[in-house]
């Protein structure tokens, strides 16, 4: 539980790990566009090929991808069934009178499921190969141009940094409060769902209060260390856009181009 | 180096002032302890040194800069490093070296210079091997040493510890005190706010606070002889001093200079 801050990041030394986080975020966005451009099931081969390439280059084991898909397995089944039941179509395979199973419905169900699996697997590729800190840096740098419109890019990144830093601390804290409440006779295990949710209140309120105290103390400590916002701030770790980054971006664009050409050719 | 001139400070909605006409002068290179029980105003005093609090009346001058001028705040905070009580609530980032870099990054220093400052700061608190570790895996004492490293990276001339040992276990406390002592040897001015009198025996000077006033300001030797004054301020002298005073009451003569266990042993042995 305590390692949750590091997200699902798997440290590694591959080309994908070494890419600039900005590049990886951009590629991730291109990949999402790619999966949404696909209108027919067999065109998923393109984003799938892209994903497999990334997987091979990053040397991330398939089991990590499986792990990231596990939490959404019920959603996937639900989506599949929903599409199967409510999609109409011409080619009737089975007629039960009140409901018809059609070929189109089966295709549509698979289509939606594959799209979500590809999206989640791709997103987890980003978080598996990029440390949360690098990710935060990348987001800050990518959003910096929006400062023209008074978008708080630095503040957002600082909030993410602090949130990452404090997740394990707050986990410890909630465990302590839980134990303290249990020692006073609180019961967190029995009763129906509503009772159990309600029994969380004695944990949440002290946690909330202590978070405010922590925030106050942290703000004082940050001020004491000369923090005065993002103005004139430098970073020790500089992000570097290398040839590899350019190459990776070009490959992604090539994939999208191929996909668009195919889409136009096989309308 | 630090000069308090008739400083009075009142928190909002408070009846009594937290600091009451305090005048104090701290020399460069000294090692000063500020002691007092809860609510004596010792932390309030410390927070005036880097302008976290500004005096209601009177002035605080640090390295020739007055704290009540807005443009002086940043230079003063660069000169005065401050470590706080809770080790968890003063580290900003997840990775040790990133946290140490936080201060210099705020000052807008060149990346290469930050790198060398971070390495130097981690070395001087003996945490070089932990540079890439996550802070939540460290012990309390180690976290406080990282906090000190984060301060050192700003290259301050004054180090203020605002009850920085209060939440540590005895070994963590020793770790921190040893680190601070070695920094003092390199010429750093150290101010230690504490309620543990054991930590103050090796200071040059002890400032005793009570009800927002400085009630005593002298060497440890002199302060620990003021038995009644310490009791009035709700302060418990170190065990060694208690033993010394008890022996004196029994009629043995033990000099004022006896403060730590070693000195006590040397003074007691001839009596046996």
Q: Specify the pLDDT at position B233.
A: 87
Residue A223 to residue B106: CA distance in whole angstroms: 10
Eight-class DSSP state of A189: S
Rama region for B65: left / alpha / beta (φ>0; ψ in -120 to 50; rest):
beta
Question: Cβ separation of A5 and B81 shorter than 8 Å?
Answer: no
Pair of tokens at residue B118: 């971070």
- The shortest CB-CB distance from B136 to any of A169, A217, A226 is to A169
Tokens 């305090």 belong to which residue?
B22
Residue A238 to residue B112: CA distance in whole angstroms: 10
Tokens 């090539």 belong to which residue?
A254
Tell me whether A209 touches chain B (CB under 8 Å): no
Distances in whole angstroms, Cα of residue A107 to Cα of each of A34, A111, A182, A186: 19, 6, 52, 52
Distance of CA B243 to the CA centre of its chain: 26
Condensed to tens digits (0 to 9), the pLDDT of residues B153-183 reads 999 999 999 998 888 888 888 888 998 999 9
Spell out, as residue ranges, where chain B has pLDDT lower than 50. none
Contacts of B11 (CB under 8 A, 6+ apart): B18, B44
Question: Cβ separation of B93 and A232 shorter than 8 Å?
Answer: no
Q: Which of B253, B248, B250 is nearest to B270 (CA)?
A: B253
Question: Cβ separation of B86 and A168 shorter than 8 Å?
Answer: no
Contacts of A81 (CB under 8 A, 6+ apart): A109
According to DSSP, the β-strands at B31-35 and B205-210 are parallel
CA distance A173 to chain B (A): 11
Pair of tokens at residue B105: 């990054």
CA distance B135 to chain A (A): 8
Which residues in A lie closer than 8 A to residue B140 (C-beta atoms)? none
Is B114 within 8 Å of A233 (Cβ atoms)?
A: no
Residue A74 to residue A80: CA distance in whole angstroms: 10
SS3 A113: helix
Q: Which of B78, B105, B138 to mutate to test the interface with A (most CBs of A within 10 A)?
A: B105
Which residues in B lie closer than 8 A to residue A170 (C-beta atoms)? none
Tell me whether A132 touches chain B (CB under 8 Å): yes
Question: Cβ separation of B92 and A224 shorter than 8 Å?
Answer: no
Contacts of A24 (CB under 8 A, 6+ apart): A16, A126, A129, A130, A138
Tell me whether A225 touches chain B (CB under 8 Å): yes
Question: Cβ separation of B77 and A226 shorter than 8 Å?
Answer: yes
**For every one of its 267 residues, what pLDDT tens digit does chain A have, with 9 covering 90 and above?**
344 434 577 778 888 989 999 999 999 999 999 999 998 888 999 999 999 999 999 988 888 888 888 888 999 999 999 998 888 888 888 888 888 888 888 999 999 999 999 999 998 899 889 888 888 889 989 998 998 898 998 999 999 889 888 988 898 899 999 999 889 888 877 778 888 888 888 889 999 999 999 999 999 999 999 999 888 888 888 888 999 999 999 999 999 999 999 989 987
Question: Cβ separation of A226 and B107 shorter than 8 Å?
Answer: yes
* Beta partners for residue B194, in sequence order: B35
Q: Specify the pLDDT at position B58.
A: 93
Question: Cβ separation of B111 and A165 shorter than 8 Å?
Answer: no
Backbone angles phi, psi at A192, to 5 degrees: -80, 180
Q: Which of B84, B137, B204 is nearest to A214 (CA)?
A: B84
Question: Cβ separation of B154 and A226 shorter than 8 Å?
Answer: yes
CB–CB contacts below 8 A, A to B? 101
Dihedral of CA atoms B149, B154, B156, B162 in degrees, nearest 10, equals: -50
Q: Specify the pLDDT at position A4.
A: 44
Residue ranges of alpha helices (H) inside A10-102 are 15-18, 21-37, 45-58, 62-69, 73-86
Supply the DSSP string of B199-217, one letter for each residue.
GGTTSSEEEEEETTEEEEE
Q: Specify the pLDDT at position A225.
A: 94
Mutual angle of helices B96-107 and B111-124, in 10-degree steps: 130
- The shortest CB-CB distance from A224 to any of B82, B89, B107 is to B82
Tokens 């001058």 belong to which residue?
B61
Question: Cβ separation of B106 and A2 shorter than 8 Å?
Answer: no
Distance of CA A11 to the CA centre of its chain: 17
Condensed to tens digits (0 to 9), the pLDDT of residues B186-224 reads 999 999 999 888 888 888 999 999 999 999 999 988 888
Residue B227 to residue B3: CA distance in whole angstroms: 28
Residue A177 to residue A208: CA distance in whole angstroms: 11
CATH class in words for B2-237? alpha beta
pTM, two decimals, is 0.82
Q: Which residue of B has its CA nearest to A212?
A: B89
What ipTM is given for this predicted complex? 0.88
Which residues in B lie closer than 8 A to residue A221 (C-beta atoms)? 82, 84, 89-90, 92, 147
Which residues in B lie closer than 8 A to residue A219 (C-beta atoms)? none
Q: Where are the beta strands (DSSP E) in chain B?
A: 2-9, 19-26, 31-35, 57-62, 65-66, 80-83, 158-162, 189-194, 205-210, 213-218
Tell me whether A228 touches chain B (CB under 8 Å): yes
Q: Which of B7, B18, B25, B21 is nearest to B207 (CA)?
A: B25
Q: Specify the pLDDT at position A7.
A: 55
SS3 B59: strand
Contacts of B91 (CB under 8 A, 6+ apart): A165, B99, B135, B143, B146, B147, B150
């Amino acid at each position: 539980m305590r390692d949750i801050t590091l997200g699902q990041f798997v440290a590694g030394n591959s080309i994908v790990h070494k890419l600039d986080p900005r590049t990886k975020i951009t590629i991730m966005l291109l990949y999402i566009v790619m999966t949404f451009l696909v209108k027919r099931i067999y065109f998923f081969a393109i984003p799938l090929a892209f994903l497999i390439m990334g997987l091979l280059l990053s040397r991330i084991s398939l089991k990590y991808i499986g792990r990231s898909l596990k939490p959404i397995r019920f959603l996937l089944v639900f989506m599949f069934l929903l599409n199967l039941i409510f999609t109409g179509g011409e080619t009737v395979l089975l007629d039960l009178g009140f409901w018809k199973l059609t070929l189109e419905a089966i295709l549509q169900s698979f289509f939606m499921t594959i799209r979500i699996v590809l999206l989640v697997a791709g997103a987890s590729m980003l978080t598996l190969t990029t440390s949360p800190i690098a990710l935060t840096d990348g987001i800050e740098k990518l959003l910096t141009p929006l400062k023209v419109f008074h978008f708080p890019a630095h503040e957002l990144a600082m909030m993410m940094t602090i949130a990452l830093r404090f997740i394990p601390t707050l986990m410890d804290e909630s465990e302590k409060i839980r134990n303290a409440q249990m020692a006073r006779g609180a019961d967190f295990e029995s009763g129906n769902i509503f009772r159990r949710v309600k029994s969380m209140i004695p944990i949440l309120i002290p946690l909330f209060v202590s978070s405010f105290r922590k925030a106050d103390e942290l703000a004082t400590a940050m001020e004491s260390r000369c923090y005065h916002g993002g103005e004139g701030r430098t970073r020790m770790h500089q992000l570097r856009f290398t040839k590899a980054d350019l190459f990776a971006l070009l490959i992604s664009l090539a994939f999208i181009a191929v996909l668009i050409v195919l889409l136009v050719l096989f309308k | 180096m630090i000069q308090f001139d008739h400083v009075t400070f009142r928190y909002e909605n408070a009846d009594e002032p937290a600091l009451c006409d305090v005048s104090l002068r701290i020399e460069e290179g000294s090692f000063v302890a500020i002691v007092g029980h809860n609510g004596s105003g010792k932390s309030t005093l410390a927070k005036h040194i880097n302008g976290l609090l500004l005096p209601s009346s009177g002035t605080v001058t640090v390295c020739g800069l007055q704290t009540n001028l807005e443009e002086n705040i940043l230079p003063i905070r660069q000169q005065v490093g401050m470590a706080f009580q809770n080790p968890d609530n003063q580290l900003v980032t997840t990775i040790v070296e990133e946290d140490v870099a936080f201060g210099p990054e705020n000052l807008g220093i060149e990346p290469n210079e930050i790198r060398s400052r971070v390495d130097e700061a981690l070395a001087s608190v003996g945490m070089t091997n932990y540079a890439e570790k996550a802070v939540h895996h460290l012990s309390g004492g180690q976290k406080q040493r990282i906090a000190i490293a984060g301060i050192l990276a700003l290259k301050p001339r004054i180090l203020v510890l605002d009850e920085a040992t209060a939440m540590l276990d005895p070994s963590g406390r020793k770790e921190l005190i040893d680190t601070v002592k070695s920094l003092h040897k390199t010429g750093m001015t150290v101010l230690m706010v504490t309620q543990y009198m054991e930590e103050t025996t090796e200071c040059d000077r002890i400032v005793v606070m009570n009800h927002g006033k400085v009630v005593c300001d002298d060497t440890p030797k002199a302060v620990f002889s003021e038995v009644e004054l310490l009791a009035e301020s709700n302060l418990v002298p170190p065990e060694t001093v208690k033993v010394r005073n008890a022996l004196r009451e029994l009629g043995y003569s033990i000099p004022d200079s006896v403060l730590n266990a070693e000195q006590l042993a040397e003074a007691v042995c001839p009596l046996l």
